[in-house]
Amino acid sequence: MRARGHAVDNCDLNAEGFDPVMSRQDRIEYYDVSVNRRRVIVYVDRLLAAEAILSAFPVWNMDPPAILRGFFDWDFLPSVSFDIKENGDYTNVRRLGVVCAYGGTRLLTFFSGDPLRH
């Protein structure tokens, strides 16, 4: 990626000490654009600078790890990753990639409904 002139922002949520817990007050303020970025402004700025996002993670109980779920809830905020308007405008992210590592077999994943694929 860097060889082609792209900047890479390696975001390791565990190493950075990201707190995925959202309090009741945080949830109340979620749609209030004037305050919803306060606690996660560093991550929001990184998302707003991104043209592409690649997530790589292990699958736990047919879901992303809790810290990643919390990151999605916290940082993919109204006015950051989507716009709550009738036309559904999006931000600057043009490409999204996901790499999932399952601990079980493909058959087990199939019978579980393969929720991450959907």
Q: Give DSSP secondary structure letters for 15-66.
A: TTT------HHHHHTTT-TTTTTGGGHHHHHHHHH-SEEEEEEE-BTTB--H
Kindly report, residue by residue over 38-47, the tens digit of the pLDDT. Answer: 889 999 899 8
1 within some domain:
no
Kindly report, residue by residue over 46-75, the tens digit of the pLDDT. Answer: 988 888 888 898 887 778 889 998 998 888
More confident residue, 82 or 16: 16
Count the domains in the chain.
1
4 within some domain:
no
Judged against a pLDDT cut of 80, whether residue 97 lies above it is answered with yes
More confident residue, 40 or 79: 40
20 within some domain:
yes
Question: Which residues constitute the domain of residue 59?
Answer: 10-111
Q: Choose among 88, 114, 83: nearest CA to 100.
A: 114
2 within some domain:
no
pLDDT band at 12 (very low <50, low <70, confident <90, very high): very high
116 within some domain:
no
